[in-house]
Structure 1
């Protein structure tokens, strides 16, 4: 039975990877992308900026995130696989080249200065047990910052409140304006309570990170 469940899980991952790999079929140009982020910088270009839907949380750091993941996420919002009215509006007028260029631009803004997690700081036995149970490292890498596939996100050091909102969105039953439709993540998070998801989000958010917020000069 365990082998059957594992095989099914592996198939879901393969399908998800195959679908997300289709999100970026053109080569992105970071220079052009810098000219196309006007709608992005008002939220992602301000340190600590908070969204208010579906609850108050800091919008994610995307500078330094992998280009393929950013492209995949933008495409998911555009198609309605990720449901968020603001992001759906932002992506509605983007074509494949626009998405690839924006993704390439933000990918170039990261920093490789993050240090490996040494097990100190905010780590605790409960969080580590939950992370292991969820198999998070199997996709996001040993330090949760080196995904095994470029269509998966770096999550180490991401804002904890955003991570919690994102995790809860995978638990949301069909809803027209909120939630995320990903079979793999949906299956993983539904085995945890909201309290457990918060423990996980707080731990992951405390890890050293390659992600950051880069403010445009006009906002400094």
Structure 2
């Protein structure tokens, strides 16, 4: 009986701790976030802007991205799970509330901009086989813009060169300044050659998407 009571007590404590942590999760404020994105707009607020590390590629479009994914990504940079000197330096300056506010801002940013209707291209037989092998749609959803969990990214229509670099980063191990530690994505990416990852990236980028680069007034 004592052992049963101890087990029940432990479960109650664990449940209360989990509930408390969930309750304390910072709620993002998009208006507050607008005042906190000065460090972001120099790259993510310029259409076509290219980064040169670890190779030349366009920086990702983040306006319209899921807030929970942005929160998860910034926290991964803070923890070193995503290795990128510039992004870690920025993430380290942000509090939990700052991250929530910036994420809320970018999720809402650009929603009012009209998007031209776009046709969804069918994948080639080879790409369809690769998509099936990776089980990509199972997580990222219809057109790669309806992820099953908001902590997963929308990737349809994202820049192909960025997607390629990002996918390769999940294969990178033992590099102090580049790579991403994610068991699921690492396991998937390592199934493919870089040539196959490039084909997947090109197809996903060709899909109609909700992601945008919306210039901030400073750069208009």
Report the TM-score when normalising by structure 2: 0.85
Provide the rounded CA distance (Å) in 2 between the counterparts of 1:26 and 1:146: 24
Provide the rounded CA distance (Å) in 1 between the counterparts of 2:42 and 2:182: 28
Q: Which residue of 2 aligns with 1:213?
A: 213
Q: Which residue of 2 aligns with 1:119?
A: 121
Alpha-carbon distance, 1:109 to partner: 1.3
Alpha-carbon distance, 1:25 to partner: 1.7
Q: 1:114 to 1:140 in 2, by over 3 A?
A: farther
Provide the rounded CA distance (Å) in 1 between the counterparts of 2:118 and 2:212: 16
Alpha-carbon distance, 1:217 to partner: 1.2
Alpha-carbon distance, 1:174 to partner: 2.1
Alpha-carbon distance, 1:119 to partner: 3.4
Alpha-carbon distance, 1:159 to partner: 0.2
| CA-to-aligned-CA distance 1:137-189 (integer Å, 9 cap, x gap) | 00000210000000000000000000000000000012210000000000001
Q: Which residue of 2 aligns with 1:51?
A: 51
The answer to whether the Cα contact below 8 Å between 1:51 and 1:58 also exists between their aligned partners in 2 is: yes
Alpha-carbon distance, 1:213 to partner: 0.2
Provide the rounded CA distance (Å) in 2 between the counterparts of 1:110 and 1:68: 17
Q: Which residue of 1 aligns with 2:130?
A: 130
Provide the rounded CA distance (Å) in 2 between the counterparts of 1:74 and 1:91: 6
Q: Which residue of 1 aligns with 2:153?
A: 153
**Segments of 4+ moved more than 2 angstroms:** 110-120
Say if 2:212 is the partner of 1:204: no
Q: Which residue of 2 aligns with 1:6?
A: none
- Of stretches 106-115 and 54-63 in structure 1, the one that deviates more from structure 2 is 106-115
Q: 1:128 to 1:65 in 2, by over 3 A?
A: same
Alpha-carbon distance, 1:204 to partner: 0.3
Provide the rounded CA distance (Å) in 2 between the counterparts of 1:93 and 1:204: 33
The answer to whether the Cα contact below 8 Å between 1:83 and 1:177 also exists between their aligned partners in 2 is: yes
Provide the rounded CA distance (Å) in 2 between the counterparts of 1:116 and 1:143: 12
Tell me, what secondary structure is at the counterpart of 1:100? Answer: helix
| CA-to-aligned-CA distance 1:96-146 (integer Å, 9 cap, x gap) | 0000000000000144847576435xx322112111110000000021000
- Of stretches 39-48 and 128-137 in structure 1, the one that deviates more from structure 2 is 128-137
Alpha-carbon distance, 1:87 to partner: 0.1
Q: Which residue of 2 aligns with 1:178?
A: 178
Report the TM-score when normalising by structure 1: 0.85
Say if 2:139 is the partner of 1:139: yes
The answer to whether the Cα contact below 8 Å between 1:116 and 1:143 also exists between their aligned partners in 2 is: no
Q: Is there any run of 5+ residues in structure 1 with no aligned partner, and where?
A: 1-17
Tell me, what secondary structure is at the counterpart of 1:150? Answer: coil
Considering only CA atoms, is the larger Rg found in Structure 1 or Structure 2? 2
Tell me, what secondary structure is at the counterpart of 2:152? Answer: coil
